[in-house]
Chains A and B, each alone.
Chain A
Amino acid sequence: MSEPKDGAGWLNLGEQVLDLAAAAGASQAEVVIEADDAALTRFANSEIHQNVAESNARLSLRFVAGQRIGVAATGRFDNDGLRAVVEAAGAIARNVAPNDDFVSLPGPGLRPIPDLPAGWSSATAEATPELRADGARAVIARADEAGVTAYGSFATTTETITVANSLGIRASAGRTWSQLITVSMGPDGGSGYAESAAVDATTIDAAALGAEASERARAMANPVAVDAGDYPVVLDTYAVVDVMDMLGYLGFSALAVQEGRSFVEVGRRVGTDLVTIRDDATDPAGLPMAFDYEGVEKQRVELLNAGVCAGVVYDAQTAAREGRRSTGHGLPAPNPYGPFPLNMVMDAGAASREELIGGLGRGLLITRFHYTNPVHPKLAIVTGMTRDGTFLVEDGKIVGPVRNLRFTQSYLDALAGVSAVSAERRCLKGFLGGVVVPSVRIDGWTFTGTTEH
């Protein structure tokens, strides 16, 4: 058959594969189809140097025979391709040892999964290379005006995700997202960052991002060294994303709790009252998605409520272990990593940017982090570098740029030190999904090293 053009067509194809799997002896089966049209325009040294587009589709079949499970994937959608993927998944299931931990694929929910029109933009779906080049040129123009050099990328993506299983799940939805990031670098050693993510690419103000990064780069000219040590900090939104992602990875997953490697214990206080974090894929401020890669409707899950651990996210497997229903946070099978909160949202506070910085005394304003990695997962001790905008603050005022610093810091201790949260938030692209974050002030942050820039 020819390749489908829309969600209904992909669902129809998924049902054909389910029929083939049943005929091949599957007791249960699940088909996940991801069809993408993605493009990205990249610029460096104030010119476009890489510019790419792809059209891709991939079908993955989870073939269940009792408690024996096989997964096979293909990009071929003709009859031979579909028969081959069923044969491959079935052959694995027949030859694999049973997984006595497996209970069942998820069944359909009590209500149809509602559409999320906020997750789709025709403007993004129809974005052209010329639109992306316009964005790049707008950033470059702001850099030229400021006397700095622009680097960055502008991405536009359309995804159709389709899930069908033999228990009756039928879900298909299109979503779009776009992201523009830019680093400006000045002649005097300064660099600055700006980023935005949105469902609708045409709402991203490339010129404003170019101006933000360029101004930051100019302000970072000739940074001076400061000693490593403990400083109060203001983390801009770009740095807060890293804290959210890392906590999601280390702790907010049911599998992490079940394996004993998470810091989460419901009722345990880890942050101040100002820290409330949830996963909410329906929030139109983020990058919405209606269901997960098991076809389960996304639930809003409270993760930290006023600093107190409130819950974690589940997929079907981790939920079955506790006799509960998935919260809609499954990733494509097979998934040894467990569920993941793809759409974290942190509550806004009341502070302006000036109030955040004004409350610092002597401290550092951090724009973003670079190359962070857990040193001790359960204590959420993370190391990484600052990058593209690090400023010394004295008596509540920015006094000048400083060279980058290495930190080795427990992110849990950081949550316990949050003393102010900004009213303004941004939607940014996180590790795997869209994240909505404010800026925060933290009373203590441990810097453990310095570098030369």
Chain B
Amino acid sequence: MRDLTDRALSTATTRGASYADVRIVHRIDESITVKSGRVEGVASGESEGFGVRVLVDGAWGFASSHRLEPAEIDRVAAEAVRIARASATALRHRVRLDDRPAVQGRFETPVVEDPFKVSLETKIEALLAADQAASAVRGIAFTETIYAAQRDHTIFASSDGSTTDQTITHVGSGIETNAIEGDEHQRRSYPDAGGGWQSAGYEYIRDLELADHAEELSEEAVALLTAPQCPSGRMTIVLDPSQLYLQVHESCGHPTELDRVFGTEASYAGTSFLTTDKLESGFRYGSDLIDIVADATAPGGLGTFGWDDEGVPAQAVPLIKEGILVGYLSSRETAPRIGRQSGGAMRADGWNRIPLIRMTNINLLPKPGMSLDEIVQDTDDGLYLRSNRSWSIDDRRLNFQFATEVAYEIKGGKKGRMFKNPTYTGITYEFWRSCDAVGDERSYVMLGTPNCGKGEPGQTGHVGHAVPGARFRNVQVGVGKW
């Protein structure tokens, strides 16, 4: 492949690129869906292609193709240069990249049991066992149990001398069970909505033990049909990791993306309230308990790699320290604008997409002191919210609203009856400032989001979130008319 990457870089620079990089990506994937006790779909896929990114006269161009042939390499590299020249006709600031030492190396996700070598029969048997156990509960309308795996082999080379070779494997699985009666539709899922995901092998799937949770999930879904409606008002909430990870994703991960801060996502996903003046002034984002780090080295995370798609080494970048904004997710283009070097957060969804600033593993660090159970015991009156059902946040990442699948009443330090259709809402920094307890290592768990959308044309990112549970005071709960 090195002859092809060399050819792409040579063609691009010969035609006028001051900088060029090329990625050749070979992706294999597999998915299985079981619905209501029967195998609904099994698919495998293979995709290979390359993308060439160039800077010409300070402007970006990118072209890509699935035809991995020398003549096509020449055509695509030349097309990228032509596109960059078109970009230069509407340019006000020339792009400058931070200076970095060239890197060379290999990285591979540690895998104990290769998911692509485990027999299909074994995988389907595990899904059917879980799905059939969930379906067997009286009152269940339908169930869905999924498994998926993806492996990307990426060869990266840049005109400033970096070459990396990475093989990254992601796996995920989960069960969802639905009870419906009249206009009421209740759902429960495990390990969280959309399944649990990690960079790992099939050992992670085995450890989930889906079947062991299926019956209890379905019983809860049916019980929720007749549970009382979640009350409205300002109250204390304790978030289970299965909800807290998405709160981190939406209200810390996205707003700390430096491209959003600089407006380059404004026409699609929006901007960010965390403007760079807030970095300089030491903006209080949350309470003293809040330490959030973007850690691309965390074991098992969907955002774990050796180098990002600009050849910048994986690193742990503090974003929030003791509640204060201290950093951003950044790239070689954006970091110099705040006087820093890239934090290594440029990631592309395959060969046919440019790298964008994406979350790596955005982790809320645990605090020694109380386990999640002990936080509940320490709570006199409140709600315990588990498993995300709905999410929404404004275009500057301030006003959010989440729904969870279930709320458990907390009275006198004990979890009690369930409420259905719980929702909560707030303003990001007010919410994080109201946090007065963060769980310790005992509830700290790595979860993942395999469907994070960003960019035009659209890209689907796989990002990780390690979180414990946490408690928040005086939160508006129970939104809307029911």
Q: Provide a sorted-by-A list of 29 A–B residue pairs whose CB atoms are within 8 angstroms.
A: A3-B67, A42-B456, A43-B267, A44-B267, A45-B92, A50-B60, A50-B264, A50-B456, A51-B59, A52-B64, A55-B76, A56-B66, A71-B43, A88-B46, A91-B120, A96-B39, A97-B38, A130-B86, A140-B90, A155-B457, A259-B141, A333-B41, A333-B43, A336-B33, A371-B394, A374-B390, A385-B392, A406-B392, A408-B481
Closest CB in chain B relative to A369 CB, distance in Å: 10
Nearest residue (CB) in B for A333 is B41
Q: Which 3 A-B pairs have the closest CB atoms?
A: A334-B41, A408-B480, A129-B86
Interface flags, B396-428, vs A, CB<8A=1, else 0: 101101010000000000000000010101010
Interface flags, A87-112, vs B, CB<8A=1, else 0: 01101100111111100000000000
Closest CB in chain B relative to A185 CB, distance in Å: 7
Any A CB within 8 A of the CB of B151: no
Q: How large is the interface on A (under 10, 10 to 19, 20 to 34, 35 or more residues)?
A: 35 or more
* A385 in contact with B394 given A45-B92, A47-B92 (CB within 8 Å): yes
Nearest residue (CB) in B for A71 is B43
Complex contact A152–B267 (CB within 8 A)? yes
- Stretch of B154-162, B176-184, B309-317, B466-474 contacting A (4+ beta carbons < 8 Å): B176-184
Any B CB within 8 A of the CB of A354: no
Instruction: Choose among A48, A99, A448 the residue that contacts B87 (Cβ–Cβ < 8 A).
Output: A48
Nearest residue (CB) in B for A185 is B266
Complex contact B480–A51 (CB within 8 A)? no
Complex contact A408–B479 (CB within 8 A)? yes
Instruction: Choose among A45, A50, A97, A409 the residue that contacts B128 (Cβ–Cβ < 8 A).
Output: A97
Residue ranges of A at the interface with B (Cβ–Cβ < 8 Å): 3, 38-58, 60, 69-76, 84-85, 88-89, 91-92, 95-101, 128-130, 132-133, 136-137, 140, 149, 151-153, 155, 181-183, 185, 259-261, 333-336, 370-379, 381, 383-385, 387-388, 404, 406, 408-410, 446, 448-453
Q: Which residues of B contact A100 (CB under 8 A)?
A: 38
- Stretch of B77-85, B102-110, B431-439 contacting A (4+ beta carbons < 8 Å): B77-85
Complex contact A55–B66 (CB within 8 A)? yes
Nearest residue (CB) in B for A128 is B86
Q: Which residues of A contact B93 (CB under 8 A)?
A: 45, 47
* A76 in contact with B48 given A40-B457, A53-B83, A450-B399 (CB within 8 Å): yes
Q: Which residues of A contact B66 (CB under 8 A)?
A: 55-58, 75
Any A CB within 8 A of the CB of B62: yes
Q: Which residues of A contact B19 (CB under 8 A)?
A: none
* A406 in contact with B41 given A52-B83, A53-B79, A336-B33 (CB within 8 Å): no
Nearest residue (CB) in A for B31 is A334
Complex contact B38–A48 (CB within 8 A)? no
* A44 in contact with B266 given A52-B62, A336-B144 (CB within 8 Å): yes
Q: Which residues of A contact B121 (CB under 8 A)?
A: 95
Complex contact A48–B49 (CB within 8 A)? no
Instruction: Choose among B65, B84, B263, B425 the residue that contacts A406 (Cβ–Cβ < 8 A).
Output: B425
Q: Which residues of A contact B87 (CB under 8 A)?
A: 41, 48-49, 51, 129, 133
Instruction: Choose among A136, A259, A374, A446 the residue that contacts B142 (Cβ–Cβ < 8 A).
Output: A259
Q: Which residues of A contact B425 (CB under 8 A)?
A: 406, 448-449
Complex contact B42–A334 (CB within 8 A)? yes
Q: How many residues of B contact A (CB 8 A)?
A: 87
Complex contact A153–B456 (CB within 8 A)? yes
Complex contact A449–B479 (CB within 8 A)? yes
Complex contact A99–B38 (CB within 8 A)? yes
Nearest residue (CB) in A for B403 is A375
Residue in B45, B66, B394 with the greatest tally of chain A CB atoms within 10 Å: B394
Nearest residue (CB) in B for A89 is B44
Q: Which residues of B contact A49 (CB under 8 A)?
A: 60, 87, 264
Nearest residue (CB) in B for A138 is B90
Nearest residue (CB) in B for A101 is B38
Complex contact A385–B263 (CB within 8 A)? no
Nearest residue (CB) in A for B270 is A370
Q: Which residues of A contact B396 (CB under 8 A)?
A: 451-453
Instruction: Choose among A133, A373, A450 the residue that contacts B86 (Cβ–Cβ < 8 A).
Output: A133
* A72 in contact with B399 given A48-B90, A97-B38 (CB within 8 Å): no
Complex contact A385–B46 (CB within 8 A)? no
**Bound-complex Cα distance A365 to B478 (A):** 26
**Bound-complex Cα distance A136 to B86 (A):** 11
Complex contact B83–A51 (CB within 8 A)? yes
Q: Which residues of A contact B183 (CB under 8 A)?
A: 378-379
* A452 in contact with B39 given A45-B263, A183-B267 (CB within 8 Å): no
Complex contact B399–A334 (CB within 8 A)? no
Q: Which residues of B contact A76 (CB under 8 A)?
A: 46, 48
Nearest residue (CB) in A for B75 is A55
Closest CB in chain B relative to A193 CB, distance in Å: 9
Q: Which residues of B contact A408 (CB under 8 A)?
A: 401, 423, 479-481
Closest CB in chain A relative to B147 CB, distance in Å: 12
Closest CB in chain B relative to A135 CB, distance in Å: 10
**Bound-complex Cα distance A410 to B482 (A):** 10
| Seed contacts A100-B38, A404-B394; 16 additional CB < 8 Å A-B pairs | A45-B92, A53-B79, A56-B65, A73-B46, A74-B45, A99-B40, A133-B90, A151-B266, A152-B267, A373-B390, A375-B403, A383-B403, A387-B395, A448-B401, A448-B479, A451-B427
Residue in B41, B63, B354, B403 with the greatest tally of chain A CB atoms within 10 Å: B41
**Bound-complex Cα distance A377 to B142 (A):** 15
Complex contact B124–A96 (CB within 8 A)? yes
Any A CB within 8 A of the CB of B445: no
**Bound-complex Cα distance A101 to B40 (A):** 9
Complex contact A51–B399 (CB within 8 A)? no
Closest CB in chain A relative to B77 CB, distance in Å: 12
Complex contact B43–A55 (CB within 8 A)? no
Complex contact A260–B421 (CB within 8 A)? no
Any A CB within 8 A of the CB of B393: yes
Complex contact B82–A383 (CB within 8 A)? no
Complex contact A53–B41 (CB within 8 A)? no
Instruction: Choose among A57, A92, A137, A381 the residue that contacts B90 (Cβ–Cβ < 8 A).
Output: A137
Q: Which residues of A contact B38 (CB under 8 A)?
A: 97, 99-101
Closest CB in chain A relative to B184 CB, distance in Å: 7
Q: Which residues of B contact A260 (CB under 8 A)?
A: 141-142, 180, 185
